[in-house]
Structure formats: C-alpha cells, structure tokens
Amino acid sequence: MTRRREFDFAVECCRCSFAGAKHSAFAPPMNLAWGEFLRLARFHRIEGLAWNALADSDLPSERRKELSEMAASIAATNLLAAEECRTLQDRFKGAGVPLLILKGLPLGALAYGNAALKSAIDIDLLIHPAELGEAARLLRENDYRLRAPRESSGDQALHQWHRGWKESVWRKEGVQIDLHTRTADNPRLIPSIDVNSPRQWVSVSTDLQLPTLADEELFAYLTVHGASSAWFRLKWISDFAGFLHGRSAEELRHLYRRSQELGAGRAPGQALLLAHELFGTLQHCAALAEELRRDPTILSLYRTALRVVAGEPVEPTARRCGTLPIHRTQFQLLPGPAYKFSELSRQVMRLLTRAD
C-alpha cells in the first residue's frame, strides 16, 4: 500500500526517540503538510515523541508552539501518573496486595529511556483475581470511583464484569486506572502471565522504581495487547519496536520462541512483521522474518494491521465496519475451533455486560 509522507515522517520521529538510537540531524521533508502531520500525531498519541525528535529542527513557529504544548501536557500528565503510581504502590503493598504496572511509565522508560515522552491516558494495574474486592476498596479509599461497570452496580456486578472483561475502569480527577485481573481479553491467550509472573523493576524517575513484567513476559503481553486492537495506533507498535531496539538476532529469536511457550499464538509474529515493516526490527534476523512470512495467517494478520495503522487517522468506531479488522484479528490469534468458540462466547458476554 502507498503510505502518506506525513505518516512515514511520524514513524521516523518515533524511531529517533528509541532508547539507544543514534541521533543525527533531523529535518522535516519539503512540503510536509503540517496540519495533517499534527492530526496524525494527536490520533496516534506520539506528540511527545515527535517533539523530542523535532525540538531542535526548523519548524514553522505556529506548529512549533502547538507541538511543544502537546509534549508539555504529556510530560505533566506523566508526572501526575508517577506520583499516583507511587501512592498506589505504597497503599497496595501496605495492604498485602501484589501489583504490577502494565505498559505506561515503565514501558516508556524501557522503550525510550525517558518515561516522560510516552503518552498514556490511564494507569494499567495488574492484580490477582482473588484480590479484586480488596483492590476495589483501596481504590475507593484513594478517591477513585468505578466507571465501567457503573459504581451503582455493586461489588457482585464488578466480579461478574471481570469474568467477561480483563479490566474495570476507575477514575478520579485527572487520573484513570484500568484495573486488570488478567493480561488478555481471551483467557486462552497468555494464560500463565499474571501478577505472580517474573518481574523487573524499572526506574521511571530519580527516586521511583515501578514493577512490570520481565522481558519475556512483557514481549508476549505487548504483542497480544496490540493485536487485540489490530495495532490501530502507531504509539503501540512504536513502543514495541523501541522495547526491542538494539537487541541481537539471538535475543529476538528467543523472545519469539518463549512467547509461543507462553501462549501468545500468532500475535508475536504479526507484531514482529509490522515492527520490521515500519522500523526494521528484524533487519538482522532475516531467517525469523522469512519463517513468519511463510505462515499465511500471520502474513494476513500483519497486512491487516499495516492497513489499519497507516490508514485514515480516525477511531475504528467512527468508521463504517471500522471494528471489523479488530474482531477478525481477535478470532485468528490462536488456531482451532475451541479458541474460536471461546472468543465468540467472550464477545457475547461482553455485549451482555456493557457499562451502559
């Protein structure tokens, strides 16, 4: 497919921000449609990465001001998120409730070497399903209120909700928490990755470390997370490619093989081919790239994701049949009729337990 120059330029802005990337003079192409580029940056939530790449470049003054303000807003939001993570980590630890931070600030630090660059609209907390009631109590004590399902639904409805959805949504002024009791929408995907999985502590500021999944589990989780939405935001595949940047061919092969043992199915193959197309992730791992391309379903999933992420920057729900690639992808992530039936059952249950 032919990609617009503004999208390819957005990809290059992301690449420039990878941790350990070699920086060189970076200038916008001639006749770049700045309005379209900023629209892409906002939709794909890469404003902080774009500003990081372009701050020293010669930009039109109005666009420079707009982009710098977007990036400053992201940095301020991340500062608030860091303090909230510190508070919640202390409160949950004090109550004896283990937790992990999924994506968010730890992934920003791992992928870009700077947790302040990565845009996020929520904080993803992973807990054990048995701790859901206690976690809900702790969040309420910290002024959070349930938004999905509705607060008025009660704790029984909350537990019912988590049987069909991997997370519930909690909000207070300026902050949203997605409280996860599992890591994938369909429990047949990455079933063994939970709050008790191997973890790593990531420095997100000079005085704050946060726990997230160890590299093997994080790799598998990120691929399943991206696949669940057909990778329609550039931010997600940029985070994934940044997380893998600089790794050897041997490391990439190991992460892929391990993801298969963890039950990630076809999601890692899709993610690796998409990251390679946009960021050259497999340039030193040609054998793995060729192996993945030989699988017709993985190849189809990759092509679907490429069309979606490089297409018109509008929400899938705002387009006619816009969510169809997402649903089709979700049904293809594992082989066999048992998985497809479980996915159909899951989606029906979600319809029956919608927040509204």
pLDDT at 341: 93
Q: 211 - beta bridge partners? A: 201
- Name the burial class of residue 161, with classes exposed (0-12), middle (13-18) and buried (19+) by CB atoms within 10 angstroms of its CB: buried
How far apart CA 12 and CA 277 sit, in angstroms, is: 12
Rounded mean pLDDT, 284-294: 97
pLDDT-based confidence at 108, cuts 50/70/90? Answer: very high
pLDDT at 25: 60
How far apart CA 240 and CA 202 sit, in angstroms, is: 16
Range of the domain at 144: 5-352
pLDDT-based confidence at 51, cuts 50/70/90? Answer: very high
Range with the poorest average pLDDT among 9-23, 149-163, 304-318: 149-163
Number of domains in the chain: 1
pLDDT-based confidence at 355, cuts 50/70/90? Answer: very low
pLDDT at 203: 97
Rounded mean pLDDT, 12-22: 89
pLDDT-based confidence at 3, cuts 50/70/90? Answer: confident
**Is residue 167 pLDDT above 50, yes or no?**
yes
pLDDT-based confidence at 35, cuts 50/70/90? Answer: very high
Q: 199 - beta bridge partners? A: 213
Residue ranges of alpha helices (H) inside 200-247 are 215-227, 234-244
pLDDT at 356: 45
| Rounded CA Rg of the chain | 20
How far apart CA 242 and CA 113 sit, in angstroms, is: 9
Cα within 13 Å of Cα(283), Cβ side: 9
Pairing of strands 123-126, 175-180: parallel
Supply 211's token pair.
Answer: 């726990």
Specify the 3-state DSSP secondary structure of 36: helix
Full strand arrangement of the beta sheet holding 175-180: 100-102, 123-126, 175-180, 167-172, 145-148
**Is residue 354 pLDDT above 70, yes or no?**
no
> What are phi and psi for residue 88, nearest 5 degrees?
-65, -40
Percent of the chain scored above 70 by pLDDT?
Answer: 97
pLDDT digits (tens, 9 = 90+) for 171-209: 998 899 999 999 999 999 999 999 999 999 999 999 999
Q: What is the pTM assigned to this prediction?
A: 0.95
pLDDT at 322: 79
Map tokens 């990759």 to a residue: 302
Percent of the chain scored above 90 by pLDDT?
Answer: 81
pLDDT-based confidence at 315, cuts 50/70/90? Answer: very high
pLDDT digits (tens, 9 = 90+) for 322-344: 789 999 999 999 999 999 999 99
Supply 170's token pair.
Answer: 């909690």
* Pick from 268, 177, 255: nearest CA to 214: 255
* Pick from 238, 259, 133: nearest CA to 193: 259
Rounded mean pLDDT, 23-42: 86
**Is residue 163 pLDDT above 60, yes or no?**
yes
